[in-house]
Each structure stands twice: as C-alpha cells, then as structure tokens.
Structure 1
Amino acid sequence: MGLNIHTLIHPIIQKLAYEIIYQKPQNTDSEKTLGMLIFYETLRKWLKIDHIYIKKVDSLKESCFSNQLDKYLIITNIIECYNILGEIERILPQSYVKHIEFHKANEVSNYNQKLTEYKIIIFEKFLKNYGIINIINYLHKHNITNLNHVKIICVTCNQNILKYIAQKYPQLNIYTTKII
C-alpha cells in the first residue's frame, strides 16, 4: 500500500502557494487565506456541521454549529507558521494549536494524556527536513494515537522525505500544494 499524497490543485490555492513559495508576499493576508483554504480542503470530510432550526410563531431561525465532540490538535512550529494559522479557528473552533519544534519529539509527551481525544494535524509550511519523522515515530512508538487519525499538511514537501515516510508509514495522509 502506497502513501496517500493529495496534491491540492484548486486554482486559488495554487496561486497563493506560488506567491508564498517563490515571491515574498506583500502582506500576511495571502498566508492567512492560504492557510484557511488548505485546511478547509484537507479537513472537509472530517468537518461536521449541525443545522438547528428554531420555529417561532412568525418566523423560522436557522443556525449552524460545528460538531462540539470533534476536537483537533494542530502540532506545528508556531514561530514559522503563525501567519498561515492565523484564521484557523474560524473553520475549526474546537482546535488547539501546540508549538513543537520537530527535532524535539519528546515535547509531544506533554499532551500525551489528551491525545486520544483529538484528531491530529501535523502542519509544516515547507516539509524539507526529517524532523517531522521524529514526531510520527513518537506517536507510533508510544501508541498515542491511531496514525489513520493523523493528517500531515504542508505547502510544499520534499520528494525524499515522502519516500522515507512511505516506507515506514504508508497509511498516513499528506496534503500539499507542490512536491519538490
């Protein structure tokens, strides 16, 4: 079974990703918008919205709420990715962003007690070094979560890292705009 690599090909996502990869964005709005769009495309099958209708005497009111039972843990290096993650809570209200430097996988143990409750998203802007492997190894080695409940999201990813992940963890899902 091969690694599940999903390349996001929506034209708006591709245009914004191109700006961030090859040009210096003029403002942080491009990165925030790209972040929302990438997370939406990646998580749209995970997201559940409940519609509630309230019947009044002379009107009908409709409200939409995200499923309160779903919780998301976003593991990322906030220092590198804060612009992209700026608006994530708008689409994932039950999300928690945790800063972890990928070469320090033991930092995941700080959240070990709660991780079974969460759907885990590992986000790295440019997946270009093997530090992310430390996090995946730690999650797998300590049986913290089922790796089928983990998604990796990045703007770009390195082909060699994908090969390495595919050999060890073919069940993972990786979402990216470009493979370099």
Structure 2
Amino acid sequence: MGLNIHTLIHPIIQKLAYEIIYQKPQSTDNEKTLGILIFYETLRKWLKIDNIYVKKVDALKESYFSNQLDKYLIITNIIECYNFLGEVERILPQSCIKHIEFYKADEISKYSQKLKEHKIIIFEKFLKNYEIINIINYLYKHKITNLNHVKIICITCNQNILKYIAQKYPQLNIYTTKII
C-alpha cells in the first residue's frame, strides 16, 4: 500500500500557493485565505455538519452545527505558520492549535491526553526536512494515536521526504499543493 498523497489542484489554491512559493506575498491576507482553503479541502470529508430545524409557531428556523464529538489538534510551528492558521478556528470550532518545534518531538508528550481524544493535523508550511519524521515516530512508537487519524498538510513537500514517509508509514495522508 502506497502513501496517500493528495495534491490540491483547485485553481485558487494553486494561484495563492504559487505566489507564496515563488514570489513575495503581497499581503498576509493571501496566506490566511490559502490556509483556510487548504484546511477546507483537506478536512471536508472529516467534517460533519448537523442540520437542526426548530419549528416555531410562525416560522421554521434552520441552524448548522459542527459535530461536537469531533475535536482536532493542530500541531505546527506557530512562529512560521501563524498567518495560515488565523482563520482555521472559524471552520474548526473544536480545534486546539499547539506549537511544537518539530526537532523536539518529545515536546508532544505534554499533549498526550489531547492526542488520544483528538484527530491530529500536522501543518508545516514547507515540508523540506526530516524533522516531521520525529513527530510521526513519536506518535507511532508510543501508540498515542492511530495514524489513520493523522493528516499532514503542507504547501510544498520534498519528494525524498515523501519516499521516506511512504516506506515507514504508508497509511498516512498528506495534502499538498506541490511536490518538489
């Protein structure tokens, strides 16, 4: 079984990603927009929205609520990725964003209880070094979560890193705009 790599090909996502990868972004709004679009595309099959209809005497009111049982833990380097995560809580109200330096995988132990209760999203702007492997190894080695409940999101990812991850953890899902 091979690694599940999903390349996000929506034209707006591609245009914004191109600007961020190859040009200096004109504003942080583009990074926020790209962040919300990438998270939407990545999580649309995970997200469950419940429709609630309340019948009143003179009207019918319709409301939408996200499934309160689904909770998401976003592991990222907030210093590098804060622009992308600014609007994520709007689409993921049951989310918790935690800062982790990927080369310090043992820091994740601070969140071990949340790791068991949450679906895990690892977000890295540019997946270009092997430090993310430390986090995945820690999750796997300590049996903290089922790796099917982990999604990795990045704007670009290095082909060699993908090969390495595919050999060790083929059940992971990676979402990206471009493989370099």
Q: Normalising by the residue count of structure 1, what TM-score does the alignment of the two structures yield?
A: 0.99
Unaligned runs of 5+ in 2: none
How far is 1:114 from its partner? Answer: 2.4
> What is the correspondence of 1:53-132 to structure 2 with a 5 Å cutoff?
53-132=53-132
Partner of 1:5: 5
How far is 1:58 from its partner? Answer: 1.0
RMSD: 0.5
Higher normalized helix content (fraction of residues) = 2
Q: 1:4-30: per-residue Cα shift (whole Å, max 9, x none)?
A: 000000000000000110111111110
Distance 1:169 1:149 in 2: 13
Corresponding residue SS for 1:84: helix
Distance 1:30 1:114 in 2: 31
How far is 1:71 from its partner? Answer: 0.3
Distance 1:154 1:106 in 2: 22
Distance 2:44 2:114 in 1: 23
Unaligned runs of 5+ in 1: none
Q: Normalising by the residue count of structure 2, what TM-score does the alignment of the two structures yield?
A: 0.99
Letter of the aligned partner of 2:109 in structure 1? S
Matched, 1:179 2:179: yes
Letter of the aligned partner of 1:125 in structure 2? K
96-105 or 112-121: which moved more?
Answer: 112-121
Q: 1:106-141: per-residue Cα shift (whole Å, max 9, x none)?
A: 000001122111000000000000000000000000
Runs of 4+ in structure 1 over 3 Å off:
none
How far is 1:57 from its partner? Answer: 1.0
Letter of the aligned partner of 2:131 in structure 1? G
8 A contact 2:73–2:114 mirrored in 1: no
